[in-house]
Amino acid sequence: MRSCEAVRRRTSFVAALILALVTTTSGQDSAPATPLTLVSRDARRTIPTTMHNGREAVALDDLATLFQLSVKEDALAGGVTVSYRGRTIVASADRPIVSVEGRVVSLPAPMVRSGRRWLVPIEFMSSALASIYDQRIELRRASRLVVLGDVRLPRVTASLDSPGPPTRATIEIAPAAAVAVNADPGRIQIRIDADGLDFSASAMSGLIDRVRVGDQPNTVVVDTNGTGRATVTTANNVARVLIEVAAVASSESRNPTPAPTPSPTPAPSTPIPDPRAAIAATRTWQTIVIDPGHGGDDVGVRSEKGMEEKGLTLDIARRLRAMVESRLGLRVILTRDDDRGLSLDERASVANNGKANLLISLHVNGSGVPDQSGAEVLHLQLDRESAEVVRVATAEGAALPTISGSVRRLDLIPWDLAQARHLDESSVLASVLQEELQRQVPMSGHPIRQAPMRLLAAANMPAALVEVAYLTNPEQAARLATDDFKTTVAQAVFSAIVRFRAWSEESQGQ
Amino acid sequence: MSMKTWWLAFVGALAVLVLIALSIARMYGPVRSTPGEEAPISTSPSTPKETAHITATLFFGSPDGQTLVPVRRDVALADTVVEQGRQILNAQLSEAAQAPNVSVIPTGTKLRAFYVTERGDAFVDLSSDVITGHPGGSLNELLTVYSIVNSVIANLPAVRRVQILVDGKEADTIAGHVDLRRPLSRDDSLVHEGDEK
């Protein structure tokens, strides 16, 4: 037996060598995608990926090298065992699930053999490997990064506020980190106290040529055509650097301070309350509201074994809050944080008064048919009459005189139809939620629906309602009782929030 | 022209006019039934010879619980829109779904009142059993609401929208999801296509 094992080991070593050779020589064969970058405290390494059946995949042998994993193929069972320090993941060919330390984790696509290599979807890293690894593994798909361990890698987003002149732009750092600014004519350098930056910038114009990452991985450089100044403010764990660049007029060329601004002597890096900050703040996400459905006497759906919807929604909402607060640095308000009954208007007003950028209501579904299963996402549908009321209100509006003598126009949309102006965004939100849930949990035959939902109608922000599973389905009820499933659902909704925030900030910045 | 010839001409013209009028009246006037052939059916509601029926479309849950299935049932014919609406709703509320279809309205739910406004908005007043007996879940609630809304609108052309009341009062929702504060239009997206109609 031992010799057999030794032979098998040797063969697998030889196979690994061949695989490595094949990797280096034929890795370009399949349609190449931009590689992912693995960022750890000490290094940045490339993770090559390929597109397989429209999904981005990574080769297990590449992961083995990068993460010091051992990968053993079980030809008889048609599967692979991936181990790291005694903890194992068992994956079977052509099945979109893996067993992580005995627990089943679903993947968006199955593991497949491509030539001599095994390909797994890139989500394998965050949803399976992360569970057996001794360091945090976070997949940031939008920025093409895989973050390993305790790396301070804040999201840094640069957006143009107004082309001016003076040209104004905002650079946001979330979660907030200490910032040092150096403003020179022609360029402003911003050094951020972090290991690296998860950087993205929209197109600039006016007196700002572009915003880019500097020579050091933790610096951002603003290339300008004038003299600029920067103001740093921090609120809700987001640091904002407001940049203002004025033209260097020939007659005032010796004056380094921007002439067109009527503000008093500007002092760089001093938190002067700038009216622009308020405007920038509306563009930047600060607060989201999670609504755990039902509560108090209203237990919601009840399973055969007595499990109640109200408790499950609160449990998942708390998990989601922890993820959003710790990883996105946003303020999260739960409409209820205990077992209490709240009217739907009270829930909507928590979101509206909290000026939330997003409302997600969590529910568990019920059906008279026990076979019915899967998650569903609902967003608001306005009937024709309500849509007409909103259209007229928006077209006519009302004019209010302001102190300055000008007139401010108001759209008088009925308060209980506040959602009317966010219908398009909510539709995007629902699609993103559906896509992210689909990666991690089973979906129903109608995964997305538009309906006259009472809570959503009164929400003055993009809003959607998620039914995570069917409590009336005995198998789903059993899964809902596990921590694993509740965390998976929270994780999926979290991923959707990340994606929707990126989309929302990008579309508003344009 | 003497007085006499003028008078004759006048009488002649009058006679011609009367003849024309008579022939027109014969062309467009009511056709008299020939004697011995009496009108066979009395239109008076007070003399029902036999209980007349209409074939109404009711809505039940599909076997997979995902959609509504239109099902044709005989319902007593009534004289007025409101009375017909009551008959249809009573059938929708009381009739059990035939397998493999499933019921989507809590058993014991009764119709307290039904009326239709001039604008074509119908009000369906249900007993509170619809809330207390409801198992919850947004899909369940959507199916409950639209089985009622669709069954009224599908059978009564005079009705455009339906508002559900509970115990005579406006209700927010039945089970915490679907907005009942306004009249709802028919929603065919929940109806399974290709089923019998």
- What's A468's domain CATH number? 3.40.630.40
Q: Where are the domains of chain B?
A: 54-190
Tell me, yes or no, whether A360 and A463 share the same domain.
yes
pLDDT band at A431 (very low <50, low <70, confident <90, very high): very high
Domain that holds residue A410: 287-509
Give the pLDDT of residue B149. Answer: 96
Cα atoms found within 13 Å of the Cα of residue A375, Cβ hemisphere only: 28
Euclidean distance between CA atoms A193 and A190, whole angstroms: 10
How distant is the Cα of A304 from the closest Cα of chain B, in angstroms? 12
In this prediction, residues A484-500 reach a mean pLDDT of: 95
Tell me, yes or no, whether A437 and A317 share the same domain.
yes
Residues in chain A closer than 8 A to B148 (CB atoms): none
pLDDT band at A266 (very low <50, low <70, confident <90, very high): very low
A238 vs A190 pLDDT, higher one: A190
Residues in chain B closer than 8 A to A430 (CB atoms): none
Tell me, yes or no, whether A54 and A177 share the same domain.
no
In this prediction, residues A467-480 reach a mean pLDDT of: 96
pLDDT band at A88 (very low <50, low <70, confident <90, very high): confident
Give the pLDDT of residue B30. Answer: 41
In this prediction, residues A160-173 reach a mean pLDDT of: 84
Q: Chains A and B: how many Cβ contacts under 8 Å? A: 106
Query: Does residue A440 have a pLDDT over 90?
Result: yes
Give the pLDDT of residue B43. Answer: 41
Query: Does residue A153 have a pLDDT over 80?
Result: yes
Please name the member of B64, B176, B187 whose beta carbon is closest to the beta carbon of A294: B176
Please name the member of A298, A369, A446 whose beta carbon is closest to the beta carbon of B176: A298
Contact A383 B65 (CB under 8 A): no
Residue A34 burial (CB < 10 Å; 0-12/13-18/19+)? exposed
Q: Does B183 touch chain A (CB under 8 A)?
A: yes
> What type of residue sits at position B56?
A
Q: Which residues contact A481 (CB under 8 A, 6 or more apart)?
A: A307
Q: Does A68 touch chain B (CB under 8 A)?
A: no
Contact A372 B65 (CB under 8 A): yes
**Strands annotated E in A437-490:** 443-451, 463-470
Q: Which chain A residue shows the shortest CA-CA distance from B143? A: A367
Give the pLDDT of residue A125. Answer: 92
Cα A427 from chain centroid (whole Å): 17
Query: Does residue A466 have a pLDDT over 80?
Result: yes
Residues in chain B closer than 8 A to A301 (CB atoms): 135-137
3-state secondary structure of A314: helix
Query: Does residue B28 have a pLDDT over 80?
Result: no
Q: Does B179 touch chain A (CB under 8 A)?
A: yes
Query: Does residue B194 have a pLDDT over 80?
Result: no
Testing the interface with A: which of B107, B177, B189 to mutate, by most A Cβ within 10 A? B177
In this prediction, residues A360-378 reach a mean pLDDT of: 94
Q: Which residues contact B77 (CB under 8 A, 6 or more apart)?
A: B51, B52, B53, B54, B84
Least confident of A297-311, A394-408, A474-488, B46-60: A394-408
Q: Could you give the percent of chain A with pLDDT greater than 70?
A: 81
In this prediction, residues A293-318 reach a mean pLDDT of: 95
pLDDT band at B176 (very low <50, low <70, confident <90, very high): very high
Query: Does residue B42 have a pLDDT over 50?
Result: no
Give the pLDDT of residue A490. Answer: 97
Tell me, yes or no, whether A372 and A235 share the same domain.
no
Tell me, yes or no, whether A491 and A476 share the same domain.
yes
Q: Which one of A116, A148, A180 terminates a domain?
A: A148
Euclidean distance between CA atoms A81 and A71, whole angstroms: 6
Residues in chain A closer than 8 A to B181 (CB atoms): 416, 454
Tell me, yes or no, whether A127 and A185 share the same domain.
no
Query: Does residue A455 have a pLDDT over 90?
Result: yes
- Give which of B161, B158, B136, B166 is closest to B150, Cα–Cα: B161
Query: Does residue A510 have a pLDDT over 80?
Result: no
In this prediction, residues B113-127 reach a mean pLDDT of: 95
How distant is the Cα of A425 from the closest Cα of chain B, in angstroms? 20
How distant is the Cα of A384 from the closest Cα of chain B, in angstroms? 8
Contact A472 B135 (CB under 8 A): yes
**In what order do the strands lie in the sheet containing A103-106?**
A70-74, A79-84, A87-92, A97-100, A103-106
Q: Does B166 touch chain A (CB under 8 A)?
A: no
Residues in chain A closer than 8 A to B102 (CB atoms): 368-369
Euclidean distance between CA atoms A176 and B158, whole angstroms: 61
Contact A301 B136 (CB under 8 A): yes
Residue keyed to tokens 């994956």: A91
Q: For residue A90, list its beta bridge partners.
A: A81, A99
Give the pLDDT of residue A161. Answer: 83
Residue B130 burial (CB < 10 Å; 0-12/13-18/19+)? buried
Q: Does A384 touch chain B (CB under 8 A)?
A: yes
Give the pLDDT of residue A253. Answer: 40
Least confident of A260-269, B63-72, B98-107, B128-137: A260-269
Digit-coded pLDDT (tens) for A91-150 = 888 778 888 877 777 888 888 888 888 999 999 998 899 888 988 888 887 778 888 888
Task: Round to the nearest angstrom and report the end-to-end CA distance of chain A.
Answer: 66
Q: Residues A390, A382: contact at Cβ < 8 Å?
A: yes
Tell me, yes or no, whether A242 and A108 share the same domain.
no
How distant is the Cα of A365 from the closest Cα of chain B, in angstroms? 4
Please name the member of B136, B142, B184 whose beta carbon is closest to the beta carbon of A300: B136
Give the pLDDT of residue A7. Answer: 54
Tell me, yes or no, whether A29 and A63 share the same domain.
yes
- What's A8's domain CATH number? 3.30.457.10
Contact A454 B184 (CB under 8 A): no
Q: For residue A365, list its beta bridge partners.
A: A470
Residues in chain A closer than 8 A to B140 (CB atoms): 365-368
Q: Which one of A118, A148, A178 terminates a domain?
A: A148
How distant is the Cα of A454 from the closest Cα of chain B, in angstroms? 4
Q: Residues A193, A497: contact at Cβ < 8 Å?
A: no
Query: Does residue A279 have a pLDDT over 50?
Result: no
In this prediction, residues B51-61 reach a mean pLDDT of: 91
Give the pLDDT of residue A497. Answer: 95
Write out the two tokens for A492: 């999926």
How many domains is chain A partitioned into structurally?
3
Euclidean distance between CA atoms A206 and A165, whole angstroms: 7
pLDDT band at A291 (very low <50, low <70, confident <90, very high): very high
Give the pLDDT of residue A91. Answer: 86
Contact A451 B136 (CB under 8 A): no
Give the pLDDT of residue B116. Answer: 95
Indicate whether this model's pTM tops 0.80: no
- What's A245's domain CATH number? 2.60.40
Contact A444 B61 (CB under 8 A): no
Digit-coded pLDDT (tens) for A226-255 = 888 888 877 777 888 888 888 775 444 444
Q: Does B176 touch chain A (CB under 8 A)?
A: yes
Tell me, yes or no, whether A342 and A435 share the same domain.
yes
Cα A417 from chain centroid (whole Å): 28
In this prediction, residues A274-290 reach a mean pLDDT of: 62
Give the pLDDT of residue A24. Answer: 41
Write out the two tokens for A79: 């599967």
For all residues of chain A together, what is the average pLDDT? Answer: 81
Q: Which one of A129, A148, A167 terminates a domain?
A: A148
Give the pLDDT of residue A10. Answer: 59
Give the pLDDT of residue B154. Answer: 94
> What type of residue sits at position A129?
L
Q: Which chain A residue shows the shortest CA-CA distance from B101? A: A369
Residue keyed to tokens 């019915």: A372
pLDDT band at B141 (very low <50, low <70, confident <90, very high): very high
Q: Which residues contact B134 (CB under 8 A, 6 or more apart)?
A: B106, B140, B141, B144, B174, B175
Q: Residues A286, A357: contact at Cβ < 8 Å?
A: yes
Residue keyed to tokens 């070593």: A13
Contact B64 A376 (CB under 8 A): no
pLDDT band at A412 (very low <50, low <70, confident <90, very high): low
Give the pLDDT of residue A17. Answer: 47
Give the pLDDT of residue A311. Answer: 97
Testing the interface with B: which of A308, A342, A369, A416 to mutate, by most B Cβ within 10 A? A369
Give the pLDDT of residue A6. Answer: 56
Read off the DSSP letter of residue B188.
G
Respond yes or no on whether ipTM tops 0.85.
no
Tell me, yes or no, whether A169 and A271 share the same domain.
yes
Give the pLDDT of residue B41. Answer: 42
Tell me, yes or no, whether A187 and A256 share the same domain.
yes
B145 vs A190 pLDDT, higher one: B145
Give the pLDDT of residue A439. Answer: 94
Give the pLDDT of residue A259. Answer: 36
Give the pLDDT of residue A238. Answer: 81
How distant is the Cα of B55 from the closest Cα of chain A, in angstroms? 27
pLDDT band at A15 (very low <50, low <70, confident <90, very high): low
pLDDT band at A283 (very low <50, low <70, confident <90, very high): low
Tell me, yes or no, whether A240 and A297 share the same domain.
no
Please name the member of A301, A446, A453 whose beta carbon is closest to the beta carbon of B66: A446
Euclidean distance between CA atoms A475 and A305, whole angstroms: 12
Give the pLDDT of residue B162. Answer: 96
Testing the interface with B: which of A454, A465, A473 to mutate, by most B Cβ within 10 A? A454
Give the pLDDT of residue A421. Answer: 81
Residues in chain A closer than 8 A to B178 (CB atoms): 451-454
Digit-coded pLDDT (tens) for B64-118 = 888 999 999 999 999 899 999 999 999 999 988 888 899 999 999 999 999 999 9
How distant is the Cα of B135 from the closest Cα of chain A, in angstroms? 6
Look at residue A282 and tell me if it is in a domain.
Answer: no
Q: Output the furthest CA–CA distance in chain B (Å, rounded).
A: 100
Euclidean distance between CA atoms B147 and B156, whole angstroms: 14
Q: Could you give the percent of chain A with pLDDT greater than 90?
A: 33
Q: Which long-range contacts (CB under 8 A, 24 or more apart) does A494-497 make?
A: A494/A320, A494/A323, A494/A324, A494/A327, A495/A436, A495/A439, A496/A429, A496/A432, A496/A433, A496/A435, A496/A436, A496/A437, A497/A288, A497/A324, A497/A328, A497/A358, A497/A360
Give the pLDDT of residue A33. Answer: 58
Least confident of A48-52, A378-382, A423-427, B31-35: B31-35
